[in-house]
Structure formats: structure tokens, C-alpha cells
Structure 1
Amino acid sequence: MNSQQWSLPDTNPSIPSVARMYDYLLDGRDNYAADRTACEVLLREVPSMKDLALNNREFLRRVVRHLADERGISQFIDHGSGLPTRDNVHQIAQRHIPDAKVLYVDNDPIVLAHGRALLGNNPHTDVLQADMRDTKGIFDHADSSGLIDFHQPVAALFVSVLHCIPDRDDPAAVIRNVVDRLVPGSFLVICQLVSEDSELRDSVTAFMQRETQGHWGRVRQRHDVRGYFEGLDIIDPPGLVEVSTWMPDNELIRPQRTFEWEEWGGLAKVPA
């Protein structure tokens, strides 16, 4: 993939952004009226959306903590990281490994500005404005900056982002491109929005395509997500699950009121 292939979005407050919509659902402040309106429309169709977003963030915390504390992983690339919010990846990882390295990647220019302001002079983190499909550009930046040592295991995170990639760009191929560049013993965290209700999949996909002016892929099915893990060793238990049930450990998990859709996925290791 060539970095010139992907056009990065401009900051336009009148066009909803997936990153800013997610920020709104997490009770953040870095969103515009268009983002809030789009979320309210979706909440009428899928009332569980806010619960799902909050549980997804808790999943991210648990899986990063597991990787750092129990697997000894000290390098992370967070694809489609979104806006900084409560307990970011570097904060979680560095509680267990103080010099853990984290590269945040997002194509939204607001993420770049807010991320750099948050990180300040933290020498073990960086924020890159790039499209997550641009594996070569991302890995070249991480390598040339000296932040990530690709001779050592890395955790590549794709948390609630692959539904932003359209079928024509083959999200499974994006995962394969990443796996091909990682040493055995590396890990991938993958989950995305899925639904077995074809009418909901089509309506939400059409709405998000229209509202974001094409910066969206589609809601998929569980079997699509299983395909992302082909050739990887899935950590089982717990296997591939609705993410609020992935190694649950505290009272912050919110019961999802309805299950028109869900965040579904898990953790896998790059085999030898």
C-alpha cells in the first residue's frame, strides 16, 4: 500500500467524524453539533450504542493491561486511536512497564492536535496522522523514529475501527499486511461492529456512509471478523466474544440493553 493512495480528511465541523462521535458517546468534549446530532439519530435506531461504546473502552483497558502485565508486551501501535479520553493506551501500559512505547495512529487532524497536546514531552509515545490502511507508511514512521523496535514483539490494536474500512479495501488484507511485518510472539487485538440483522446492517451502514461523506465501511457479521484472525493463534479462553465478556474483571461493565449489534472480537498471537 502506498501512503499517497490515502487522502486525509479536513477538519469540517459540519461533517460528523467517527472519532468525534465516539468521543461524544464516551462523554467527551471534543465534538461538534453535527457529531452529537448523528449520534442521537443512531441512538434512536440502536439504543445500546452508548453502552456498547463504554464497554468497548473497558475492553481496550483490560486487553492492554493483560498484554503489558501478563504477556510482557512493551510496544503498541494503536490503529484508529481516536481522541484522547479516560485511560489511554500509554497510561495503562506504563503503569506496568514504565518505558512502554505507544504509537497512536489516526487520520483525523483533531486527534493529532489533541494527542500531541496530551502527550507533551513523553518520550515513549508519538501520534501520527495517517490512514490505518497505510501499513507501509505507519511502520516506516515507527521504524525511522526509533520508537518501535520491530525485532521485538509488538501489539497492533484495531479496536472498533475496521468497520470504517470499505470492502473494496479489504480489511482482512490490512491485517495480513500488519502480520507480515511483525515478529512471532507479537499480538493483534481486533474487534468491530457486527450484527446478524441484515436490515440494521444496511440501514446503519447507509446512514454512516452518508453522514461521514464516505469515511465508513460497513457493519459486518461475526464470520467476517473470524476471517481477520486467519493464520493467528486466538487466545482461548476467552476466544472471540462480545467484548464486554472478554476477561471481565470489574463493575464498570454496563449491561447492554439491546443486542441489535455488538462489538465482537478478541486477542490473537502471531505464531512462529
Structure 2
Amino acid sequence: MTDAPHHRAALDVDLQPHKPHSARFWNALLGGKDNYPADQELAEKMKLEFPAAVDLARSTRSFLKRAVAHLVAEEGFRQFLDIGTGLPTADNTHEVAQRAAPEARIVYVDHDPIVLAHARALLTSTPEGETDYIDADLNDPDNVLTQAARTLDLNEPVALMLMSVIGHVTDPRQAVALVQKYMARLAPGSALVMCTTLASPEIDAANKSYADSGTQPYVASSAETMLAMADGLTIPAPGLGPISRWHPGANGPEADTQQWGYIAYKSG
């Protein structure tokens, strides 16, 4: 077992190694090495109580890769705003985008010194494009967009990535209003790539156990709430539902999970 994250010597932050941490927990759940025993213990606990947790995490990463690849290759997107980045792993947004379009520009957003330290060390751009990481809070769209505008041209389409992060806004009405505020500020032709966990008694119990560990709470969403986030946007087929159904590969879609979402577009 790993006793500390990689690059720890370069981190000038309080890592709080004895307390589970949301980003490190997901890293442990996905088999990463940037975590501590407390994060690993929580990951193992959640696997026992809710075995589908690993599938939810993996499906989110797979959806991110498919969505970004589609938006670049098929829709011509060259700008991405990825909020709630988490710890870098394989095939991050900039890697997928710049693999197909080296000139793509990506801004990552998180409000966590642990994630910030790792991201600055590991998220590097192609020479033709640009990758930036900003320290800002999801709940402060004015600040997020002001900082993002240093790298992105907000007068041109941007793909807003909200990958398993909106549940940290625990009031559904506030979550809906927040997503709508972001999309209102983005240019026509922009896209919203959103996924979160569909609420159910089993999911809600797992999220309560997760929050009881002392880490940042996460609240699942109803289908109605997810659709309200995209009010005024166009959600093409296959529509709101399991994210495995969006742009599957040649072998067909992966197994459905309770990780739901969509790619929604703002009219030009």
C-alpha cells in the first residue's frame, strides 16, 4: 500500500494524511497511487458497503474521454472548462483534446490545495495549445469565468465539464441555478458535459456513509434536477440516462450504471 502521494516532497500544503479526502478517495477507488491509508481505508469500506462505487468512478472517467473526443473530432470544440478536476489520472481532458487537436485550450478549476499542487506539476500542455489550472470555487462563477478568460476566449464556444462534481452543491435548487448561471455566461454554441449519480435509497445510504467519514459530502440528483440544469439547452439522443450510452465505441456501450448525464448544447 502507498504511504503517501507521488510528488509529496514538492507539496507545500497541509495534506491532512489521517483524514479521508474526496479527491484522494476517488484516486484510491480507481487504483491510483496519489492517496494515503485513510483514503484507501474509506475506498475499501465503500467497496464493501456499495460495490458499484468502482463502476460509477470508472464510468465517469470513460464518459469524459468519449465526450471530449467527440466534441473535438465531431463538433469542432477547441476550448474546455473542466471544473472540479480532482487528482490527475490517465487521459485527462487536455490529453484527450490535444491528442486530436494540439491547439486546444483547457482550463482546469479546483478549490483544493492538494489537487492544486498535483495539477500544477502534472497537467502540461502541447506547445501549440494551452493548459491552465486555476484555484477557484465552483460556487463562484464570476471568479471562475474571470480567471478562465485569461486562457479561453469566452466569446467563442466552450465545453463546460461538470464530471461528478455538482453533487458537492448539496441544495438541488442551488445546483440548478449555478449550472444555469455558468451556461448563461458562455457563448452560443457552447456545450455542457454533465454527469452525476442518480438518487436512490441505496445511493443515498452510500453517500451518507461516505460523508460520515468526515470528507466533503456528495448528494445524488433526481432526473428532474439533472434536466433542470440543462433548461434552455438541447440534449440530443440518447438524452438523459446512463452515461454509458453516450458515444459508445465500436464494441457498443458499457454496462449501465446509476451514473447519469448528457451532453447538452446552447443554441447558436
Alpha-carbon distance change, 67 to 121 in structure 1, aligned in 2, over 3 angstroms: closer
Q: Is residue 2:183 matched to residue 1:175?
A: no
What's 1:91 paired with?
95
Q: How does 1:178-193 map to 2 (within 5 A)?
A: 178-193=182-197
1:136-175 CA-to-partner distances (Å, cap 9, x unmatched) read 11111112x2x10011000000011111111177111110
Q: Which has the higher contact order (CA 8 A, sep 6+)?
A: 1
- Taking the aligned partners of 2:130 and 2:252, their CA distance within structure 1 comes to 29
Gaps of 5+ in 2: 1-12
Residue pair 1:16, 1:38 contacting (<8 A) in 2 also: yes
Structure 1 residues 47-56 or 112-121, which shifts more?
112-121
Correspondence for 2:81:
77
Q: Which residue of 1 aligns with 2:104?
A: 100
Alpha-carbon distance in 2 for matches of 1:245, 1:45: 26
Query: Contact 1:78–1:104 (CA<8 Å) still a contact in 2?
Result: yes
State the SS of the aligned residue for 1:170: helix
Q: Residue 134 of structure 1 is aligned with which of 114, 131, 140?
A: 140
CA 250–107 in structure 1, closer or farther in 2 if over 3 Å, else same: farther
Offset of residue 95 of structure 1:
1.6
List per-residue Cα deviations over 1:171-207 (Å, max 9, x = no partner): 1111011011101100000110113x32x24322322
The aligned length equals: 254
Q: Which residue of 2 aligns with 1:221?
A: 222
Asked whether 1:238 is paired with 2:234, we answer no
Please point out which of 197, 202, 205 is paired with 1:203: 205
Q: Which residue of 1 aligns with 2:57?
A: 53
How far apart, in 2, do the equivalents of 1:56 and 1:252 lie? Answer: 17
Structure 1 letter corresponding to 2:246: W
The structure-2 alpha-carbon separation of the partners of 1:10 and 1:233, relative to structure 1 and needing over 3 Å to count, comes to farther
Report the Cα distance in structure 2 between the residues aligned to 1:185 and 1:132, rounded to whole angstroms. 22
Structure 1 unmatched ranges of 5 or more:
1-8
Sort the Cα spacing of 1:34 and 1:169 in 2 relative to 1 into closer, same or farther, 3 A.
Answer: farther
CA deviation digits over 1:84-112, x for unaligned, max 9?
A: 10111111111221110001111221211
How far apart, in 2, do the equivalents of 1:56 and 1:205 lie? 17
Amino acid at match of 2:142: K
- Between stretches 69-78 and 38-47, larger displacement belongs to 38-47
1:34 to 26, 38, 41: 38
Tell me the alpha carbon deviations over residues 9-47 of structure 1, each in whole angstroms, 9 at most, x when there is no partner.
Answer: 963222222211111122111111111111111111211
SS at match of 2:237: coil
TM-score normalised over the length of structure 1: 0.86
Structure 1 residue runs of 4+, over 6 Å off? none
Contact 2:46 2:210 in 1 (8 A): no
How far apart in 1 are the matches of 2:182 and 2:145? 9
Q: Deviations over 1:38-67 (max 9, x none)?
A: 111111121111122112111100000011
DSSP-derived class of the 1:104 partner: strand
- Matches of 1:88 and 1:102 in 2, distance apart? 10
Q: Distance in 1 between matches of 2:133 and 2:252?
A: 28
The separation in 2 between residues aligned to 1:120 and 1:179, in whole angstroms, is 27
Range moving further from structure 2, 185-194 or 218-227: 218-227
CA shift, 1:117, in A, is: 0.9
Give the partner amino acid of 2:264: A
Aligned with residue 269 of structure 1, among 247, 265, 268: 265
**Aligned twin of 1:4:** none
Query: SS at the partner of 1:21?
Result: helix
Instruction: Using the TM superposition, give the Cα deviation of residue 252 of structure 1 relative to its aligned residue in structure 2, in angstroms.
Output: 10
